[in-house]
Structure 1
Amino acid sequence: MRRLQSPRRTYDWGSREEIPDFLGQPVDGERVAEVWLGTHALAPSLVDGPDGPRSLLEVSGELPFMLKILAADRPLSLQVHPDAELARAGFDAEEASGTPLDAPHRVFKDPHPKPEMVLALTTFDTLVGFRPTAEILRVLGALPTSLTQKLAERLRAEPGFAGIVALVEQLVTDPPTPQEVGDVVAACADGVQRRTDVKRAYLTALEVNEHHAGDVGVVISLLLNRLTLQPGEAAYLATGIIHAHLKGMCLEVMVSSDNVLRAGLTSKHLDPQGLVRCVSGGMSRLARVEPEQFGESTDVFSPGLREFALSMTQVSPAEPAGTPLPDQGRRIIVCTGGEVELVNEHDERLPLRRGSAVYADAADGTIRAHGTGEVGQAYTPTAEDRATPLTDLV
């Protein structure tokens, strides 16, 4: 077992307090958005060693998964992640063009797809996937603006997934003026006042507009499902699913990738046509991940992929011999609450407090946790783990 030092990422949507508090670090005014735990080339973790810190990559080899601690104080960008084919083609094209890996306008940072799963540490709000056609028509039809009525008319003429994607393409390639967006916002405010909000659609648009006034993403938010996860609940975001996290803190586990195509709600580089090309799937492939039980105290969240799963273990003195963690391969373990001590098969011990993280591999064998707290573990699942079903939300 090796203790990890992992880089913080500061973006304008991050929280000034959540991650520093989680890590037990002083609040310095920076908006800390993410902590990356893994081997991705842009921000690899370091491991403690007798001769000082070393890159985790040197110790573990390239990991197929990455674990993040994410804290959003305002909406993230409206985005889609590419599938394997689009990721490889995009990466090869940008490599051939000589675009530096850290260039602000670079889109494909690696050749990998980026499916991901979020597990809420606090109440976590996100927009994921399209609403059904009928619901979108109810949302738009009750807003008496020229823009929303034109969008509704077009969707009636071409209903279903293809028609909704066509609306998004129209909006991101020929964005409405700030005045047109403002008119929609005013109509949403009136709808909330009159209690005619459709499944929080208007309230969401108002919340997004507070941080991104006049942005096309405010209008697109009306087309998307809003999901609220309570602490301990998880959801899977497949590639090709349009989404925008709104607020809250979570663990996020994904294929080790940083490929993101954006079309709004951000100061970062936009690639609207690329986003439209990446959108795929049915009306909504949003899915809650129902956990499977491991032992007495562990929930295993597995979306059925070969690259990653996430376990959450409650540790207490009720198991005097220690609480066993699943898996015996390469894994990243983070303490998400309380204080625990990890013990491997060689009786090596490592104390952790909230925010501490370690890397372990096959040489450690089964790890048991002692104390009182909670630990999350990202790892490569077995075929049995990958059989966990998903619950579709439409």
Structure 2
Amino acid sequence: MLALECATQSYDWGSADAIPGFQRRRPDGAPVAEVWLGTHPLGTARYRDDHGHHHPLDETAGQLGFMLKLLAAERPLSIQVHPNATRARAGYDAEQAAGIPVDAPDRVYKDPHPKPEMVYALSTFDTLVGFRPTAEILRVLMPLQHPTTSALAKQLRTDPGFAGIVRLVETLLAQPPTPDSVAAIVEECRRALAEGIDIKRAYATAVEIEKHHPGDVGILISLLLNRLTLQPGEAAYLDTGIIHAHLSGMCLEVMVSSDNVLRAGLTTKHVDPHGLVLCLEEGMSRVARVTPQLHGTSTDIFSPTREFALSVTQSSQADPAGAPLPATGPRLLVCTGGEVALLNERDELLHLRRGDAAYADEGDGELRIIGTGEIAQAYAPDGAAGRLDDLL
């Protein structure tokens, strides 16, 4: 078992105090958006050896096929899609051939891997996931008295269904309305709210987003998307090709070890509207929630895909021998509450408090947690590979 020191990402949508508070350290006023646990080259975790020297985790673990992130959003993230395996490989090869540095601001494909992911809420967590059904989008658009929304409704009536909705997004991105038009549509949303009208929080969402991204075409795209609120302990799976945009809150994300994101609104980062449209895949995503399976008496397992799983285990004085964790292969762990000790099959102990992270591998065997607290663990499900070269 290794205690980890993990890379942080200070994106502008991050929270100045949520992650520092979670990690029991004093905020410095700068936004902290993400903490990366894993071996991705753009944010590799490190550990100290017995002599106090730092080493990148991949020296011991190799390239893991999954990674775990702690994410805290103070304001909305970009409208985005993650590519499937075929598009990721083609996009990466093309940008490599073009000589675009992997850390260049306009680089889209940072690696050749797909990026399905799952979010697990640590606080109330709001996100937009997948398209609403055609009929619901028309119900959203029709009360908004503006030429742009009327034109969008007419187009969708003529060209309904998933493909028609994608073409609606393509229209918005190819010919975005002026900021004044977007502002006028938001005013229509406010008018509807004042009259007590909202359709599954579409108008409230547009008004909320406008505070942070006034005039952005992403506000209109948000009207087409399902809003999902997760309470602490709930999870949602975002497969490749599913359009989404996180709005606010703190969560854990577990995913294939990738940083490929195609954006088309609500961001100061590089956008690739054409690439985003190409990556959109069939699926209206009303089934994003993941129902956990109970392991033993103390663990919930969220396992939506063959590439990764997340277990969340609670322990207390009712478990004097410790609560067992599932999996025995490579694992990334973070203490999400309390103060516990990890015990491996060699009777070695690693003490963790809220916010502390660790890595364990096959040599540690089954782990148990002792104490009063909670541990989240990312791993590859039984029968799946835990390392990138074997998995993809």
What range is the shorter-chain TM-score in?
Answer: over 0.9
TM-score (norm 1): 0.96
Cα contact 2:68–2:252 (8 A) shared by 1: yes
**After superposition, what is the alpha-carbon deviation per residue over 1:181-207, rounded to whole angstroms, capped at 9, x for unaligned?**
011000000000001111110000000
Equivalent-residue separation in structure 1 for 2:289 and 2:187 (angstroms): 33
The one-letter amino acid of 1:228's match is T
Contact 2:226 2:286 in 1 (8 A): no
Residue aligned with 1:92, SS: helix
**1:107-146 matched pairs, under 5 angstroms:** 107-146=108-147
Give the match for residue 30 of structure 2. Answer: 30
Structural mapping, 1:189-338, within 5 Å:
189-284=190-285, 286-305=287-306, 307-338=307-338
Q: What is the root-mean-square deviation of aligned Cα atoms in Å?
A: 0.9
Aligned residues: 383
How far, CA to CA, are the matches of 1:152 and 1:196 in structure 2?
Answer: 18
* Alpha-carbon distance in structure 2 between the residues aligned to 1:284 and 1:358: 33
Aligned residue number for residue 41 of structure 2: 41
Is contact 1:237–1:286 with CA below 8 Å preserved after alignment? no
Aligned partner of residue 32 in structure 1, secondary structure:
coil
After superposition, give the CA deviation of every residue in 1:186-244 in whole Å (9 maximum; x if it has no partner): 00000000011111100000000000000000011000000000000000000000000
SS state at 2:126 partner: strand
Q: Secondary structure at the match of 1:11?
A: coil
AA of the residue aligned to 1:151:
L
Equivalent AA in structure 2 for residue 375 of structure 1: I
* Residue aligned with 1:358, SS: strand
Determine the structure 1 residue equivalent to 2:381: 381
Kept in 1: contact 2:111–2:260 (CA 8 A): yes
Conservation of the 8 A alpha-carbon contact between 2:335 and 2:354: yes
Partner of 2:10: 10
C-alpha distance in 2 between matches for 1:281 and 1:162 = 8
The secondary structure found in structure 1 opposite 2:128 is strand
Any stretches of 5+ residues in structure 1 without a counterpart? 385-394
**1:284, 1:290 → 2: CA distance?**
15
Counterpart CA distance in 1 for 2:167 and 2:134 is: 13
SS at match of 2:314: strand
The whole-number CA distance in structure 2 between the counterparts of 1:126 and 1:258 is 19
Q: Deviations over 1:124-170 (max 9, x none)?
A: 00000000000000000010111000000000001100110011001
Unaligned runs of 5+ residues in structure 2 are 385-392
CA contact (8 A) 2:300 2:312 kept: yes
| Bigger Cα displacement from structure 2, 287-296 vs 77-86 | 287-296
Residues in 2 aligned to 1:87 and 1:298: alpha-carbon distance in whole angstroms:
34
Distance in 2 separating the partners of 1:6 and 1:286: 32
The answer to whether the 8 Å contact 1:128/1:286 transfers is no
The answer to whether the 8 Å contact 2:242/2:283 transfers is no
Give matches, 1:33-182, under 5 Å. 33-51=33-51, 52-182=53-183
In 2, distance between residues paired with 1:33 and 1:367? 30
Q: Secondary structure at the match of 2:34?
A: strand
Look up the match of 1:347. 347
Q: Residues of 1 paired with 2:150 and 2:284: CA distance?
A: 21
8 Å CA contact 1:129–1:224 kept in 2: the answer is: yes
Compute the displacement of 1:283 (Å). Answer: 2.5
Asked if the contact 1:116–1:254 (Cα under 8 Å) also holds between the matched residues in 2, the reply is yes
Q: Indicate the larger mover: 66-75 or 40-49.
A: 40-49
Q: Which amino acid aligns with 2:134?
A: T
Q: Separation in 1 of the partners of 2:18 and 2:229?
A: 18
Instruction: Please say if residues 77 and 244 of structure 1, whose CA atoms lie closer than 8 Å, have aligned partners that are also in contact.
Output: yes
Secondary structure of the residue aligned to 1:15 is: coil
Aligned to 2:264, what secondary structure does the other structure show?
strand
State the distance in 2 between where 1:216 and 1:344 align: 52
- Code of the residue aligned with 1:294 in structure 2: it is H
Instruction: Give 1:30's aligned amino acid.
Output: A
* 1:382 Cα deviation from its structure 2 partner: 1.1
Structure 2-normalised TM-score?
Answer: 0.97
Q: Give the match's secondary structure for 2:19.
A: helix
How far residue 383 of structure 1 moved from its aligned partner, in angstroms, is: 4.6
Structure 1 segments, 4+ long, off by >3 Å, are none
Tell which deviates more after alignment, 42-51 or 247-256: 42-51
- Within 2, Cα distance between the matches of 1:75 and 1:368? 37
State the secondary structure of the residue aligned to 1:339: strand
Following the alignment from structure 1 to structure 2, what is the Cα–Cα distance between the partners of residues 96 and 214? 36
Distance 2:333 2:277 in 1: 36
Query: In structure 2, what residue type is equivalent to 1:112?
Result: H
Following superposition, the deviation at residue 356 of structure 1 comes to 0.4
Counterparts of 1:37 and 1:321, CA distance in 2: 28
1:387 corresponds to: none
Please state how far the C-alpha of 1:284 moved relative to its aligned partner.
2.5
For residues 347 and 214 of structure 2, the distance between their equivalents in structure 1, rounded to whole angstroms, comes to 56
Shift of 1:282: 2.4
| 1:350-383 CA distance string (max 9 Å, x none) | 1100000110001001111000011000001115
Amino acid in the other structure paired with 2:247: L
